[in-house]
Structure 1
Amino acid sequence: MQIREIDPAQRPADLAAILPAARAVLGEQLGDFPALSASQLRLSCTPDWQEQIAVFAAYDSREATVADGLAISEWSFDSNPDLLSTTVWVAPHARRRGIGSALFERVLKLSTELKRPRVVTNAAATVPVDALLTARGGRLVETVTRSVLNLRAVDRPAFERTAGATPKNSRYQLVRWTDRCPEELLDSFCTAMDTMSDAPQGDMVYEHALNDRARLRGREELSVRAGVRRNVLAAVTPGGEIGGFTMFSSAPDGPQSLDIWDTGVPRDHRGLGLGLRLKAAQTLWMLDEFPTARAVQTFNNSDNHHMLAVNRALGYRASERWSWFEFDNSALA
């Protein structure tokens, strides 16, 4: 076995080397959800604003060009100075050879080099590794529920009624954009996105860096470069303030699946039904612009009862549970 640090964000050959393993693992974890696209994986390997990413791939031999496993690790420069987040995937055909352990050891070495003793990683319940991670010293810090909506079964008239204004939220106009936020909404959108720090996160200690113009524009540009579209729907007051938003991603090379990234309603605008209205209108957008899409998925902390209730009201079904585990590398060392 050989472990190499690679650069899938910049090198097409490196991206092609890890795509089969990533697809195999996510296919196992996400059931019948459409396969991961190359652009989605590329974005996962692309450094975000004020963040860095390291990707390690495990090969069967020095001559091998297709990896049997991979680890994607990321860390932030302007928040969480002690934290390293990582994902370790090993293709089903290559398990029980020590590949996962070798990749994780490389991640722990990186955390030592960076002086970031907290290492967090996740796992889906469809791959029974919780006991293994706990036995290795991992502490469960968060559980997340994945919910899936079958777009082929949507009752469009019902969604049109739900997306309509109510007496409580009729003053809000729904505005949408793709890739680049309109300049006149930029500051308000940054403030609205900071709402995500209010979302439940279990026992996970995580500092959400404040959004600003530079961070937002940087993230927009990174997504465009990777080939992933950011589709945003916002509820805007007559004064130009964003009272709520929901964002989903799409990729030209993966049109059959859509992912909801974030949905947020700032505190002063809650209790008006904006979350339900926005997500219903978002679904109609998906149906109109992505008619070949089969499904949309979203992930929510299992304690986020409000957003889970919104999803259930719209017909999302609860799928598998995901767990986040934290390792104290200082103790391991």
Structure 2
Amino acid sequence: MIREISPADRAEELAAVLPVARAVLGEQMPGFPALAASTLRLWCLPDFHGGVRVFGAFRDADARVADGVAIAEWTDDANEDLLAASVWVAPTGRGRGLGSALFAEVLAVRAELDRPRVVVNGASTVPVDALVTAHGGRGVELVTRSVLDLAGVSRARLTATAAATEQNSGYRLARWTDHCPDELADSFCVAMAAMADAPQGELVYEHAAHDRERLRGRERLSVRAGVARHVLAAVTATGEVAGFTIFASTPDGPESLDIWDTGVARGHRGHGLGIRLKAAQTLWMLDGFPAARWVQTFNNADNAHMLGINRSLGYRAAEEWTWYEFETVATPPG
């Protein structure tokens, strides 16, 4: 049976779908630490000016652990034709049509919201291309997940890379957790527009403009989920944020860290800020998170510049992920 659930608000429902998410992501990202419950809770919370609906597949009305889960999310002030979804079925629940039933719920949300495009993703470690193509999906973006083993990095090399050079000595590094200082908030919002310049293949995706209200809303959302948001920024002498890198940590998953976004504003590119920020970020991870062993980050496969920075810092390619788009889908995939 399929029923709508609220894992972000109900601890028993979060516990019911966490094993599914861990099992599927464990297949997709073999060898990486298990998904933290607080991270899944964040995924089930509505983003600023958006919404989320979650559906669980259960063997019967008395089942306390789900066999599958679907998460459908959307934003109201950008990408008004798009619904993003994740559909996961545990290995023990496969072969019973649960993927089809869960995706049917996603399509019902799509119809209700009148959003012609649905996007889902899959990792190269679990072949899905034939299945997706058979049901009208097409690959629109290829993304590389890169992993860093913190036990193997050279602190001396990181320290040298994080040091100011002649090109970027006019920038100081500032950092904060959860709450951006008020004096940097507006400039930080402007700098985050740099993410719109990153390659995204054939995926048509609009990056909503950031402002202080959106920033504070997302900060509160992370705190509510129990996910700490750590930001390192390059700041000019006049207080302008020129570049930034963001990573997340969770108390219930201390062995791994996730890099969310890294960007340098257009007017400040070409000064080596990207690699300086990423090296300084890694030193912060080493000093501030002694239990952490692994770091992961996702980049478009065509983003040669950022992939090159990551490789120079010791990141290795793990697997590739494909974003698949379905337009006005009538038949669910799987």
Structure 1 and Structure 2 fold alike (TM over 0.5) = yes
Partner of 1:292: 291
User: 5+ unaligned residues in a row in structure 2: which ranges?
Assistant: none
Amino acid at match of 1:287: L
Partner SS, residue 305 of structure 2: helix
Alignment of 1:229-248 (within 5 A): 229-248=228-247
Alignment of 1:1-150 (within 5 A): 2-150=1-149
Partner SS, residue 56 of structure 1: strand
Deviation of 1:332 (Å): 5.9
| RMSD between superposed Cα atoms in Å | 1.0
The reply to whether residue 257 of structure 1 matches residue 256 of structure 2 is: yes
Render the CA deviation track for 1:133-159: whole Å, top value 9, x for unaligned.
111100110010000000011111010
Amino acid at match of 1:182: P
Partner SS, residue 243 of structure 2: strand
Render the CA deviation track for 1:254-299: whole Å, top value 9, x for unaligned.
1000000000001111011100000000000000011110110000
Q: Is the 8 A contact 2:67 2:90 kept in 1?
A: yes
Amino acid at match of 2:178: D
Render the CA deviation track for 1:58-112: whole Å, top value 9, x for unaligned.
0011211110110111011101111100001111121121111111111111101
**Distance between the aligned counterparts of 1:289 and 1:81, measured in 2?**
39
Partner SS, residue 167 of structure 1: coil
Partner SS, residue 86 of structure 1: strand
Partner SS, residue 302 of structure 2: coil
**Distance between the aligned counterparts of 2:208 and 2:41, measured in 1?**
23
**Distance between the aligned counterparts of 2:151 and 2:293, measured in 1?**
6
Partner of 1:177: 176
The reply to whether residue 159 of structure 1 matches residue 184 of structure 2 is: no
Change (3 A) 1:52 1:286: same
**Distance between the aligned counterparts of 2:129 and 2:11, measured in 1?**
33
Count of residues paired in the alignment:
332
Partner SS, residue 204 of structure 2: coil
Q: Is the 8 A contact 2:136 2:329 kept in 1?
A: no
Partner of 2:202: 203
Partner of 2:222: 223
Partner of 2:323: 324
**Distance between the aligned counterparts of 1:215 and 1:271, measured in 2?**
29
Partner SS, residue 185 of structure 1: helix
**Distance between the aligned counterparts of 2:311 and 2:251, measured in 1?**
28
Task: Give the structure-1-normalised TM-score.
Answer: 0.98
**Distance between the aligned counterparts of 2:131 and 2:330, measured in 1?**
18
**Distance between the aligned counterparts of 1:95 and 1:301, measured in 2?**
30
Partner SS, residue 315 of structure 1: coil
Amino acid at match of 2:55: F
Q: Give % identity.
A: 66
**Distance between the aligned counterparts of 2:100 and 2:128, measured in 1?**
12
Partner of 2:307: 308
**Distance between the aligned counterparts of 1:330 and 1:10, measured in 2?**
30
Partner SS, residue 161 of structure 2: helix
Partner SS, residue 253 of structure 2: coil
User: 5+ unaligned residues in a row in structure 1: which ranges?
Assistant: none
